[in-house]
Chains A and B, each alone.
Chain A
């Protein structure tokens, strides 16, 4: 009973949005079904989810809703239940196994690479560290300069912040620690959580102290604290694959392969809503710009939704290329 009611309500809603879309004639959602968008726990993914939602509902008149998620649970649920419909920032390498299964099953496809420069993982330092210590340029300079990062809680060793427990990066950084021969000079410190990793950076920057460890970009942290990624050699596929393996026998120094960060979309959407799929295939943001937007959000304590609005208002040059002009007009109108 309630099911039918909801369906009629949906149909009515779709009809009304169709009616609204009629005069423009061009943009139309194409499906009356609810489109769910994964809103991940970190700011960039949450803001991108809001951007997608705003464009879909205001621009295309879709019944688009956000759905809380996180990389592993969202990928698993997309694989098994084809929900959520869209994950605007899915770090493929983190969920490689689920991703491969989705490709084999064919129920989810990659519409686009969300970051123009790919996901950038690696070892980062605040920019002032490089100014004060020009001898550090690449990750291979760390071993000789460990004194800079000496930690009073563990004298005689520098502190290298690892990725949070369970993240793929934790395995990779641990292997880098071995490959760079840092066992004698650096304590590999597990921050325990992404929040704590961020807090440790905030603390170091507030005190103008050196800090070195894992982070990723584009992210609010990189933009806000002006982190710089230490240089790395070019990435060798075979060596890097070994670095991603917890049982890598002989880790070798190589570059961190650019992360594949996909706009992951349930394949059905391509038939149901071709115009939306067209927009998703163009959706891409440059790394520096998005980091700057995220830093603005962090500085102003803005919610993900406010960051999304800020992005749509101030970075028109980026997102208007994703959609036809009439859709852009409608999105613009909805912001005021």
Chain B
């Protein structure tokens, strides 16, 4: 108690003031914030109910079609189909669909927010300088620090889980969009400018397509990080596979935790296959067109 850094200012009073400010924020704005995010919640629950309501073979078909659209090769399609059947055989179909809904919503929102941010960062050095430390903080701040405040602000359930997942998973898509666009060969840009392309045309017809493999790698990482958040998200009432893992841990039922954990791994492989084969195809196309 005597050693350590001298107490120069009253940290405890500061902490209390911070807590009071936060509590009044919750009291005044909590309900408004919850209402603002209600459409997002409807989207997730709609997606979840849709996935659980559809017969399993239709979901399987949809996944296989999406894989085909992304890969245009039959091997990944078969792999995704087999893995989904395995998921069903493990007896965790409904939980897996709840997890897929949350993860898809988090990924879609991350891409919708992250790609424009990444593009803006690539075009402005000032914004990049400001954003990089923010992204570093988002990736290193322990999740529990903001998880419970999110619950206080948005009410327990899927919304805080979704927001926490986005905070955790969005940095790769922002970073890699920025990186991908900055890596586009300046000579190609100069050539396109010589042909009279406007800055906007340059962005959409030259920079983004050329950066696509890198951006896809970012989206893939974001998906994986969103998936790795499901256990933590279920600690604030998000349900799904993570909830099964939690129950398994708490009841010391090794089997339950293991099966649900295996389910998460299967989902990770499925989404990784889809995203990677798409990225590979885009890259292959670029090279073909380049030659």
- Mark A residues whose CB is within 8 Å of B: 72, 152-153, 164-167, 189-193, 195-196, 199-200, 202-203, 206-208, 300-301
Q: Which listed segment binds A: B23-31, B199-207, B265-273? A: B23-31
Contacts of A72 in B (CB 8 A): 250, 252
B16 in the interface, Cβ–Cβ < 8 Å?
A: yes
Contacts of B234 in A (CB 8 A): 165, 192
Contacts of A202 in B (CB 8 A): 23, 26, 152
Contacts of B248 in A (CB 8 A): 166
Q: A152-B38, A300-B12 are in contact. List 10 more A-B contacts (CB 8 A).
A: A152-B31, A165-B247, A166-B246, A167-B250, A190-B237, A193-B235, A193-B236, A196-B148, A200-B155, A206-B27
Contacting residue for A192 out of B12, B27, B238, CB 8 A: B238
Contacts of B35 in A (CB 8 A): 152
CA A81 to CA B200, docked complex, whole Å: 70
Expressed in whole angstroms, the minimum distance between the Cβ of B165 and any Cβ of chain A is: 14
Contacts of A199 in B (CB 8 A): 148, 151-152, 156, 236
Number of chain B interface residues as a range: 35 or more
Expressed in whole angstroms, the minimum distance between the Cβ of A9 and any Cβ of chain B is: 23
Given A72-B252, A166-B251: A192 and B148 interface contact (C-beta under 8 Å) = no
B171 in the interface, Cβ–Cβ < 8 Å?
A: no
The 10 lowest CB-CB distance pairs between A and B, nearest first, are A166-B250, A193-B235, A199-B151, A206-B27, A165-B247, A192-B237, A196-B236, A200-B156, A192-B235, A166-B251
B residues 228-283 near A (Cβ < 8 Å) are 234-239, 243, 246-252
Expressed in whole angstroms, the minimum distance between the Cβ of A246 and any Cβ of chain B is: 10
Expressed in whole angstroms, the minimum distance between the Cβ of B240 and any Cβ of chain A is: 10
The DSSP consensus for interface residues of chain B is helix
Given A192-B243, A301-B16: A164 and B156 interface contact (C-beta under 8 Å) = no
- Mark B residues whose CB is within 8 Å of A: 12, 15-16, 19, 23-24, 26-27, 30-31, 34-35, 38, 41, 144, 148, 151-153, 155-157, 159, 234-239, 243, 246-252
Contact A191 B26 (CB under 8 A): no
Contact A196 B23 (CB under 8 A): no
CA A166 to CA B256, docked complex, whole Å: 11
CA A206 to CA B35, docked complex, whole Å: 17
Contacting residue for B237 out of A152, A166, A191, A203, CB 8 A: A191
Contacts of A164 in B (CB 8 A): 250
Closest residue to B154 on the A side, CB-wise? A203
Expressed in whole angstroms, the minimum distance between the Cβ of A58 and any Cβ of chain B is: 15
Expressed in whole angstroms, the minimum distance between the Cβ of B155 and any Cβ of chain A is: 6
Contacts of A190 in B (CB 8 A): 237, 239, 243
Given A200-B156, A202-B152, A301-B12: A165 and B243 interface contact (C-beta under 8 Å) = yes
Closest residue to B151 on the A side, CB-wise? A199
Closest residue to B250 on the A side, CB-wise? A166
